[in-house]
Structure 1
Amino acid sequence: MNVTYKPLLPETQQPIIIIGASGIVKDAHLPAYNMAGFQVYGITNRTISKAQEMAQKFDILYVFDTVADAVKHAPKNAVYDITVLPDQYIEILEQLPDGSAVLIQKPMGNDYKQAKAIVEVCERKNLVAGINFQLRFASFVSAARNMIDQGLIGDLYDLEFKVTVKTPWELFPVIKQHPRLEILFHSVHYIDCIRSFLGNPKRVMARTWKHPEKDLSSCRSTIILDYGDTLSVKINTNHDHDFGTQNQESYIKWEGTKGAIKAKMGLLMNYPDGLPDAFEYVIIEEGKEPEWKMLNLEGSWFPEAFIGTMSNLMRFKEGSDEVLHASVQDVLDTMKVVEACYTSNNNGGVQLTELN
């Protein structure tokens, strides 16, 4: 069986300017770009010492004091990599040269209204703009997509994301107190990934919960995406499973009329150290008992999938790729689904007192 899952790299050198110097830049962006051989030309950050530290560790050529300074000294074919929080996106995008290529950290805004404003700026300035939804490019997702595109597991009728882990939110102090924590900053990955396979759902049903002893807006969610009467699509997350790793779960499962695929997302288990990924599949053969098999894949979600998002942006900019897969226009629908989740959480459900 031939399964293609590694991203194609750009054919031209496009130097990267990173705007922001957070932990995700150190742990994922820069290691991924080193692996791919991308040139990181410069970096800037509000706290300049963090940018200087990052530049020293990863041999980045230039540290710029401000975004305006970075733009002034950037090469003409530079790609901008925005890695700050959503409230700063528009201010930064307005400073970029018209027609620039830019990769923006997820989520695309704090809500759907802000997401639409971000798209407006990108379109007005003719920016080639994508959102960094790397899960679309994780090796296990790309392998599953290739198998499904080949028809190996038939017609999909069930797609499930299940996460039961202990997430140390204290590692993310900037977002920890956000009023829309779980769905906007975590399950948004799964919503976007589902959309990349199935397009937009007809409707959404969702509920997100707090923990009785934690000062968090939400840390567990159940989301049902309605794609009709035969295709079941659901997301179940529990970030409060603080009982050791024995019964932690973190997987995506695709079931079809001819077979199934189950991908373990090891990164989320025993975080931040993580556990190994695993990719299993079964294809029904007439007259034989179902037999699950393992497929060994190279790379994982962090940091390798970050190669995919940046490569796709660069290849689209140079004309090698026909589609910018996580364009701001496409991701606007991801944000619309997120907004629908919160609307359902606040207003959904039928109270028993309403029934006679």
Structure 2
Amino acid sequence: MEINYNYTLPKTSRPIIIFGAGGIVNDAHMPAYKKAGFEVYGITNRTKARAEKVAEKFGIPRVFDSIDDAIAQAPENAVFDLTLMPNQFVDTLEKLPDGAAVLIQKPLGDYFEQTKEIIEVCRRKKLIAAVNCQLRFAPYIMAARNLIKQGAIGEIYDMEVKVTVHMPWELFPNVMYHPRLEIQQHSIHHIDLVRSFLGNPKGIMAKTLKHPGKEMSSTRTNVIMEYGDDVRALVSTNHDHIFGHNHQESYVKWEGTKGAIYAKMGLLMNYPDGVPDAFEYCILEEGKKPEWKSMKLEGSWFPDAFIGTMSSLICYANGETDKLDTSVDDVLDTMHVVEAAYASSDAGGIAPKYDSI
């Protein structure tokens, strides 16, 4: 069985201008763009020295003094890559030329009121706007999507995302003490991923929790996404597993009427070094015992998935495709699910009627 997990690269590239020079640019954006052969026209950052350091490392030809300066000098067909914090999105989007192509870092706002402001600006200015929900483009996710599209595992009745790891949150000082840490900053990836396979859920049940010995707002979450009586969709995360690697887990699993797929997300284990990914699948054959097969895939979530989000945006902006995979309007529904998850968590469960008899 042939499994295709390659990206559709744009036939004609566009110059990319990056706003921000944080760790994600150094670790993912620039390595991905270099690997894909994309042209990075220039970069800017609030602290110019950081932008200069990234520019020197990756051979970026221009370092702009400010966002205003970068926009003023941008080529007409530039793509703007916003790697800023969400509270800077609206002001920055307002400055872009009407109709510009822009890739916005996730999440699409720290709170839903902010999300609505971002959407309003994008629609009013007719921006070709996508969100960097790049997990959708990780090689093992692309391979799973291709198998499922072929009908290899039949009708999906179970999708599970399980993460039990030790996350060194101190590597993310900008979000470490965010009042909506776990779902808004991390599990949003997994919620968006489930949506991309199963569509919008009919209901959400969720609980996000803090650790008794940590000051962070939340580090563990369970989210059940309802799709009917015969489909289970679960996101379960625990970032507090400090007990060694033996029982850490990080995977996505799909089960269908004809087979199953298992994808190990190695990046999240022993973070930030990670461990090797794994991709396995089992196709049921009548009269035979179930047999799992493994396939070695090239690339990983970081940096390769970042090629996918940028490729999708450029292809759409060029008119090479009529689908923008992670458009702001599509990811708006992910934000609706996130908001429902927090509402469910705040409301709490139904208390048993212990004294009813």
Length-normalised TM-score, structure 2: 0.99
| Aligned match of 2:306 | 306
Any idea what SS the aligned residue of 1:157 has? strand
Q: Residue 301 of structure 2 aligns to which amino acid in structure 1?
A: W
CA distance in 2, matches of 1:3, 1:133: 23
Residues 161 and 253 in structure 1, CA contact (< 8 A), matched pair in contact too: yes
Name the residue aligned to 1:52: 52
Deviation at 1:351, TM superposition (A): 1.7
Q: What is the distance in 2 between the residues matched to 1:93 and 1:326?
A: 17
Aligned to 1:33: 33
d(CA) in 1 for partners of 2:183, 2:283: 33
Separation of aligned partners in 2, 1:106 and 1:77: 23
1:336–1:354 CA distance, 2 compared to 1 (3 A): farther
Once residues 353 and 20 of structure 1 are traced to their aligned partners in structure 2, the CA distance between those partners, rounded to angstroms, is 53
> Which residue of structure 2 lines up, in the alignment, with residue 64 of structure 1?
64
Q: How does 1:1-356 map to 2 (within 5 A)?
A: 1-353=1-353, 356=356
CA offset digits 1:299-319 (Å, max 9, x no partner): 110000000000000000001
Tell me how far 1:352 sits from its aligned partner.
2.5
* Residue 114 of structure 1: how far off its partner (Å): 1.4
SS of the residue aligned with 1:176?
coil
Secondary structure of 2:80's partner? strand
The answer as to whether partners of 1:112 and 1:332 remain within 8 angstroms in 2 is no
With 331-340 and 341-350 compared, the bigger mean Cα shift is at: 341-350
- One-letter amino acid matched to 1:63: V
Question: Aligned to 1:228, what secondary structure does the other structure show?
Answer: coil
Amino acid in the other structure paired with 1:10: P
Q: Once the two structures are aligned, what percentage of the paired residues are identical?
A: 60
In 1, the alpha carbon distance for the partners of 2:266 and 2:240 equals 17
Shift of 1:334: 0.2
CA contact (8 A) 1:205 1:348 kept: no
Find the aligned partners of 1:166 and 1:93 in 2 and give their Cα distance. 35
Query: Per-residue CA shift, 1:240-265, capped at 9, x if unaligned?
Result: 00011111100000000000000000
Query: How much has 1:67 moved relative to structure 2?
Result: 0.8
Equivalent residue letter for 1:55:
A
State the Cα deviation string for residues 287-338 of structure 1 (Å, max 9, x = none).
0000000011111100000000000000000011110010000000000000
Instruction: Tell me how far apart the structure 1 counterparts of residues 190 and 111 of structure 2 sit (CA, whole Å).
Output: 17
How many Å separate the matches in 1 of 2:255 and 2:352?
34
Look up the equivalent residue of 2:265 and give its one-letter code.
Answer: M
SS of the counterpart of 2:236?
A: strand
CA distance in 2: counterparts of 1:147 and 1:189, whole angstroms: 21
- Say which SS state the counterpart of residue 352 (structure 1) adopts: coil
Displacement of 1:115 in angstroms is: 1.0
Contact 1:131–1:327 (CA under 8 A) maintained in structure 2: yes
How many angstroms does 1:348 deviate by?
3.3
Structure 1: give runs of 5+ residues left out of the alignment.
Answer: none
| AA of the residue aligned to 2:284 | I
Q: Which whole-Å CA distance do the structure 2 matches of 1:350 and 1:39 have between them? A: 54
TM superposition shift of 1:13: 2.4
